[in-house]
């Protein structure tokens, strides 16, 4: 698994990284949030109020 792989970013050990504003900015810029809204959210992420989301 390469560090840029999505599987790496969603690994349980990366939980603290998913809490950062930098991760959330990356996910939005990469188009993941739009994709998840259209196709379903991964097990570790979910929508919150408004246009927000959280990843555990």
pLDDT tier at 2, thresholds 50, 70, 90: low
Q: Are 53 and 24 in contact (CB under 8 A)?
A: yes
- Cα–Cα dist 16/13, whole Å: 8
Q: Which residues contact 42 (CB under 8 A, 6 or more apart)?
A: 10, 36
Report the predicted TM-score, pTM, of the whole model to 2 decimal places: 0.76
pLDDT given at position 4? 59
Domain extents in the chain: 6-55
pLDDT given at position 41? 93
pLDDT given at position 11? 78
10 against 30, higher pLDDT: 30
């Amino acid at each position: 698994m390469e560090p840029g792989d999505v599987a790496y970013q969603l690994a349980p050990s990366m939980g603290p990284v998913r809490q950062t504003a930098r991760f959330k900015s990356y996910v939005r810029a990469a188009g993941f949030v739009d994709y998840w809204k259209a196709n379903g959210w991964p097990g570790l992420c979910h929508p919150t109020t408004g246009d927000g989301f959280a990843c555990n």
